[in-house]
């Protein structure tokens, strides 16, 4: 069992709701263990606030094992903090030093309005998927799974794109608040698979149209999204999406 | 013996479901358009049901407490999903999957349900692949399989260590498609707080909009709960932080029986607790037991590093005790064996509450194969380890990374330390063959019901059951009920039953806010968890359970007089959400202990110390306890037992042996 000995200063964004203005508020924390996760450190802060009769900091989190995509803290200017390829919940305090000051803000993007404190509304992502991020196959219509062999490399590439957890770090880190990495990951997964071909060009047009309608920014190829993605989703997906989008507009007979 | 009817169709086991499907009453397309179905939960069981019912033409409303249906905790399932495809030509069949599941569940599951599950298992794989779920493949382009515990065939399909994620995203995309078409109305960040009953039938729910605190009334001709398990009653578990029993518990309080609550699954391979700050536990997939060997030192209190302990001073206790299944014994058996070694003083790590999961032997073996493929038939050890590590990385990379992240140790170099942790709950709302609870019109699917896993679930069967229920079972069985409801018009939500249910829900919220006590919700949750783990965990006994019941009752009174919930009920208030859930967990905890005390036998995940064989294996009592214990809620947190006798007509009931 580790004993905690880290002392920290937190500057945490507090905002009552989307109608009020927010501000950074300072908190002191003592005896933090390096084995704690970043969110467990926030549990300590909240317990402290509750015991003092104050309102705890509201933040999104659920699985705490890096897969649900719910946690979403902007830590010292980086989504999910200083370590590469981890979500906030998998970031541990051993990545910080005794005496550190840590600034924690919500995702910031016009398409992700703040709900309260560190919680934002990411329902725009769901609407982009609803616009075309699927294969139209009703339950009960499937043939035997092995009737459709898929080369391993292709299946693996589709899987890598499908590993996106929809957390929105790509949007949060992009200076344009672009959602291209998220959208292209889903488009790529389905474009790489034979099952996704019938709707391939329709899909890319519908999803891009919805992405634009949600108010996400444009892509200017800075690559921050790839660098900050906790699941290592590749920029190649964006290239593939752009290619498919161009093909759809200029070649496909089906325009949406 | 039974005083409840499970509505199992007549006829041969193997033809029951086929016959049922072709004779169940149907609802015609024009009537479907006016029939509304409420689905609570958007995990595998909820999302698949919502999508499928909408495809069939019903009007569906789906609710989840997370910010998106994609975040339901099914997403975190790692290892795989079983299906009786026999793609490996290793002798698998529907019967074998059925048999393994009944035996794995220690003969405490219903034959007819389990056989149906095995029958539809193959359809699930077909459906998921058609949706574009990228399951693992071999170089020939066909689907790959791996082994899981409690079986001797390879029937587990997987997507690296993220099978649940990929399956859920498949169901989620099917659901979003229906949302986009306007056939499902999705309510995210909503929590169900009450079931509304009119003339004895479930007719809707009361839900709280978690952002605004607004209380909403929703009508449905039928209500389906796919709300997951209750492992968080232990505070520390592998469940997500938000996973809770509230929807199921509110249904229970409205008349739905709660079955076998004491059957909880303690998963053998989890990352051990590191300190008091711990908020949740993380699973290391059972698939790791394919390639990892579990051991402890032969010497008590051995403080040497794992690498310094020579081969002949290691006790591979699972291989020693269970030579036939070795490291792949079912979860309950593996967990108890780990506890036994640690209790006896052979545990490793600082807390001594851990055993080693070691990949070295298989890493080397894989390395040899790889070297051989490259033409090197006499590779040195270093080459083997280097090449083998690459293979292990491809198979389990994300799990190893997660382990390194959490513990700060490198599992490629030193064996993992693992210990059992609460993972899954086999108990849940009692349902009949139709997946209907004891409240007409109220259905329950997935982990939230009790139906298919008996007293112990086999690995890779949870995903199978969730999707079986949602894609292939409920969409048929709910028709049997709804076909009789076609003349019922949507009931306006100003009906007195809605008003009354809303008053109940609001009353609880206001009470919680107004206690203004001195202790946080987490404080009570941790104490409850401690009682449950110590006295109703991996091993239970009469004395401990009796004490636990008293302690939980006292805790309940203390909670309702001293909990502190800051803020108000008309805003986003996460403490208020937690308070409501913990209040329900406290009542459930008491019932779990009562159930465990009632069951004077050991079976699967329920191990009563008084009932064991000389070798320390679970000792069942088939004469007195071959029944489902279905508990009815009574005024003032009391419970009345109903029994559903389990009849085994197709399987010979025997002492489970994995030796």
Is the Cβ pair A193, B475 closer than 8 Å? no
Q: What's the pLDDT at B58?
A: 98
Residues of chain B numbered 80-109 and touching chain A (CB < 8 Å): 85, 87
Contact B42, B64 (CB under 8 A): yes
Is the Cβ pair B76, A68 closer than 8 Å? yes
pTM of this structure? 0.97
Q: What's the pLDDT band for B658 if we cut at 50, 70, 90? A: confident
- Of the residues B45, B235, B280, the best mutation for testing chain A's interface (the one with the most A CB atoms within 10 Å of its CB) is B280
Q: What's the pLDDT at B347?
A: 96
Is the pLDDT at A253 greater than 80? The verdict is no
Q: Find tokens 């990892």 and name the residue.
A: B292
- Of the residues A65, A93, A207, A210, the best mutation for testing chain B's interface (the one with the most B CB atoms within 10 Å of its CB) is A65
Nearest beta carbon to residue B134 from set A35, A68, A155: A155
Nearest beta carbon to residue B159 from set A122, A126, A159: A159
Q: What's the pLDDT at A254?
A: 72
Q: How many helices (H) and strands (E) does chain A have?
A: 8, 7
**Catalytic residue IDs of B:** 331
Q: What's the pLDDT at A2?
A: 45
> What residues have CB less than 8 Å from B21, skipping those under 6 apart?
B476
Is the pLDDT at A3 greater than 70? The verdict is no
Contact B552, B586 (CB under 8 A): yes
CA distances from A163 to A87, A122, A233, B653 (A): 13, 18, 8, 43
Residues of chain A numbered 92-131 and touching chain B (CB < 8 Å): 92, 94, 115-116, 119, 121-123, 125-126, 129-131
Q: What's the pLDDT band for A14 if we cut at 50, 70, 90? A: very high
pLDDT digits (tens, 9 = 90+) for B69-126: 999 999 999 989 999 999 999 999 999 999 999 999 999 999 999 999 999 999 999 9
Is the Cβ pair B176, A2 closer than 8 Å? no
Is the Cβ pair B274, A35 closer than 8 Å? yes
Nearest beta carbon to residue B275 from set A1, A140, A190: A1
Residues from chain A that touch B76, judged by Cβ atoms under 8 A, are 63, 65, 67-68
Q: What's the pLDDT at B360?
A: 94
Q: What is the mean pLDDT of chain A?
A: 96
Is the Cβ pair A67, B75 closer than 8 Å? yes
DSSP state string for B510-560: HHHHHH--SB-HHHHHHHHHHHHHHHSSSSB-HHHHHHHHHHHHHHHHHHH
In chain B, pLDDT over 90 holds for what percent of residues? 93
> What residues have CB less than 8 Å from A228, skipping those under 6 apart?
A78, A79, A80, A169, A170, A172, A173
Is the Cβ pair A158, B350 closer than 8 Å? no
**CA-based nearest residue to A56, from B575, B66, B219:** B575
Q: What's the pLDDT band for A249 if we cut at 50, 70, 90? A: confident
Q: What's the pLDDT band for B1 if we cut at 50, 70, 90? A: low
- Of the residues A145, A156, A200, the best mutation for testing chain B's interface (the one with the most B CB atoms within 10 Å of its CB) is A145
Tokens linked to A172: 């949060």
Rounded CA gap, B290 and B285, in Å?
10
Beta-carbon-side half-sphere exposure of residue B466 (alpha carbons within 13 Å): 32
Is the pLDDT at A149 greater than 90? The verdict is yes
Can you name the residues that pair with B120 across neighbouring β-strands?
none
pLDDT digits (tens, 9 = 90+) for B285-338: 888 988 899 999 999 999 999 999 999 999 999 999 999 999 999 999 999 999
Q: What's the pLDDT band for B2 if we cut at 50, 70, 90? A: confident
Is the pLDDT at A184 greater than 80? The verdict is yes
Rounded CA gap, B352 and B343, in Å?
9
Q: What is the mean pLDDT of chain B?
A: 96
Is the Cβ pair B351, A60 closer than 8 Å? no
Residues from chain A that touch B51, judged by Cβ atoms under 8 A, are 139
Is the Cβ pair B141, A58 closer than 8 Å? no
Count chain A–chain B contacts defined by CB atoms under 8 A.
228
> What residues have CB less than 8 Å from B540, skipping those under 6 apart?
B262, B596, B606, B607, B608, B609
Residues of chain A numbered 166-185 and touching chain B (CB < 8 Å): 166
pLDDT digits (tens, 9 = 90+) for B163-186: 999 999 999 999 999 999 999 999
Q: What's the pLDDT band for A1 if we cut at 50, 70, 90? A: very low
Is the Cβ pair A148, B564 closer than 8 Å? no
Is the pLDDT at B213 greater than 70? The verdict is yes
Give the mean model confidence (pLDDT) for residues A156-172: 98
Give the mean model confidence (pLDDT) for residues B651-659: 88
- What ipTM is given for this predicted complex? 0.97
Q: Find tokens 């518990």 and name the residue.
A: B249
By 3-state DSSP, what share of chain B in percent is helix, strand and coil, each rounded to 5?
40, 15, 40
Which helix (DSSP H) or strand (DSSP E) does residue B585 occupy? helix B574-598
Nearest beta carbon to residue A149 from set B141, B522, B566: B141
Residues from chain B that touch A53, judged by Cβ atoms under 8 A, are 566
Length of chain B: 659
Q: What's the pLDDT at B655?
A: 84
Rounded CA gap, A138 and A122, in Å?
27
pLDDT digits (tens, 9 = 90+) for B226-255: 999 999 999 999 999 999 999 999 999 999
pLDDT digits (tens, 9 = 90+) for A51-66: 999 999 999 999 999 9
Q: What's the pLDDT at B376?
A: 94
pLDDT digits (tens, 9 = 90+) for B349-364: 988 999 999 999 999 9
């Amino acid at each position: 069992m580790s004993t905690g000995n880290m002392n920290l200063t937190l500057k945490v964004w507090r905002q009552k709701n989307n109608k009020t203005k927010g501000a950074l508020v300072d908190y002191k924390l003592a005896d933090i263990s390096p084995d704690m996760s970043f969110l467990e450190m926030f549990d300590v802060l909240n317990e402290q606030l509750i015991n003092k009769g104050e309102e705890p900091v509201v933040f999104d989190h659920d699985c705490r094992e890096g897969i649900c995509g719910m946690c979403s803290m902007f830590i010292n200017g980086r989504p999910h903090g200083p370590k590469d390829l981890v979500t906030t919940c998998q970031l541990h305090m051993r990545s910080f030093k005794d005496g550190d000051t840590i600034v924690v803000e919500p995702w910031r993007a016009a398409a992700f309005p703040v709900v309260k404190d560190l919680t934002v509304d990411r329902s725009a992502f769901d609407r982009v998927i609803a616009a075309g991020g699927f294969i139209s196959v009703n339950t009960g219509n499937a043939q035997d799974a092995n009737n459709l062999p898929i080369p391993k490399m292709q299946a693996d590439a589709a899987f890598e794109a499908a590993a996106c957890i929809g957390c929105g770090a790509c949007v949060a880190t992009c200076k344009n608040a672009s959602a291209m990495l998220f959208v292209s990951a889903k488009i790529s997964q389905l474009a790489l698979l034979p099952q996704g071909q019938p709707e391939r060009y329709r899909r890319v047009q519908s999803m891009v149209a919805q992405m634009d309608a949600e108010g996400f920014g444009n892509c200017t190829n800075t690559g921050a999204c790839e660098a900050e993605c906790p699941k290592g989703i590749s920029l190649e997906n964006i290239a593939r999406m752009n290619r498919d989008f161009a093909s759809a507009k200029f070649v496909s007979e089906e325009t949406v | 013996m039974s005083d409840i009817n499970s509505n199992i169709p007549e006829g041969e086991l193997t033809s029951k479901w086929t016959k049922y499907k072709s004779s169940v009453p149907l609802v015609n397309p024009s009537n479907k358009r006016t029939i509304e179905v409420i689905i609570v939960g958007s995990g595998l069981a909820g999302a698949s049901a919502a999508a499928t019912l909408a495809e069939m033409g019903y009007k569906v409303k789906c609710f989840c407490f997370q910010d998106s249906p994609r975040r339901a905790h099914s997403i975190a399932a790692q290892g795989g999903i079983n299906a009786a495809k026999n793609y490996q030509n290793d002798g698998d069949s529907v019967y074998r999957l059925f048999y393994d599941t009944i035996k794995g569940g220690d003969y405490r599951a219903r034959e007819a349900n389990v056989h149906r599950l095995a029958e539809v298992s193959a359809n699930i794989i077909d459906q998921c692949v058609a949706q574009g779920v990228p399951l693992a493949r071999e170089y020939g382009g066909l689907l790959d399989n791996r082994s899981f515990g409690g079986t001797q065939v390879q029937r587990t399909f997987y997507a690296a260590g993220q099978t649940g994620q990929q399956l859920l995203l498949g169901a989620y995309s099917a659901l979003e498609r229906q949302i986009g078409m306007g056939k499902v109305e999705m309510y995210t960040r909503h929590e169900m707080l009450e079931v509304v009953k009119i003339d004895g039938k479930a007719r809707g729910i009361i839900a709280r909009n978690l952002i605004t605190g607004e209380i909403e009334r929703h009508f449905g001709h039928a209500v389906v709960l796919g709300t997951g398990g209750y492992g968080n009653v232990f505070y520390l578990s592998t469940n997500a932080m938000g996973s809770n029993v509230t929807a199921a518990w509110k249904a229970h309080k409205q008349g739905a029986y709660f079955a076998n609550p004491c059957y909880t699954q303690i998963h053998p391979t989890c990352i051990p607790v590191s300190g008091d700050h711990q908020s949740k536990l993380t699973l290391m997939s059972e698939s790791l037991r394919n390639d990892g060997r579990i051991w402890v030192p032969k010497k008590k209190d051995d403080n040497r590093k794992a690498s310094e302990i020579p081969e002949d001073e290691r006790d591979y206790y699972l291989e020693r005790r269970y030579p036939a299944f070795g490291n792949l014994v079912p979860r309950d058996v593996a967990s108890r064996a780990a506890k036994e070694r640690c209790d006896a003083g052979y545990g490793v790590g600082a807390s001594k509450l851990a055993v080693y999961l070691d990949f070295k032997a298989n890493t080397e073996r894989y390395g040899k194969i790889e070297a051989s493929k490259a033409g090197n038939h006499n590779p040195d050890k270093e080459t083997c380890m280097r090449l083998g590590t690459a293979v292990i990385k491809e198979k389990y990379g994300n799990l190893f990374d997660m382990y390194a992240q959490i513990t700060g140790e490198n599992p490629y170099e030193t064996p993992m330390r693992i210990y059992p942790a609460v993972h899954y709950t086999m108990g849940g709302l009692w349902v009949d063959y139709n997946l209907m609870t004891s409240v007409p019109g109220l259905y329950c699917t997935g982990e939230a019901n009790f139906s298919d896993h008996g007293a112990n679930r086999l690995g890779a069967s949870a995903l199978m059951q969730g999707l079986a229920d949602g894609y292939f079972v409920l969409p048929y069985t709910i028709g049997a009920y709804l076909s009789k409801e076609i003349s019922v018009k949507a009931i306006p939500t100003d009906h007195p039953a809605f008003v009354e249910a809303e008053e109940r829900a609001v009353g609880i919220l206001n009470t919680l806010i107004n206690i203004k006590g001195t202790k946080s919700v987490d404080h009570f949750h941790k104490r409850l968890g401690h009682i449950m783990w110590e006295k109703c965990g991996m091993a239970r006994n009469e004395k401990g359970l009796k004490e636990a019941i008293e302690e939980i009752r006292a805790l309940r009174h203390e909670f309702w007089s001293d909990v502190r919930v800051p803020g108000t009920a008309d805003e986003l208030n996460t403490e208020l959400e937690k308070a409501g859930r913990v209040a329900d967990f406290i009542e459930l905890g008491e019932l779990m202990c009562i159930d465990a005390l009632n069951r004077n036998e050991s079976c699967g995940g329920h191990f009563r110390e008084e009932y064991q064989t000389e070798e320390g294996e679970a000792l069942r009592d088939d004469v007195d306890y071959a029944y489902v214990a279905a508990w009815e809620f009574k005024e003032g947190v009391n419970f009345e037992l109903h029994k559903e006798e389990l009849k085994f007509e197709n399987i010979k009931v025997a002492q489970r042996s994995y030796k």
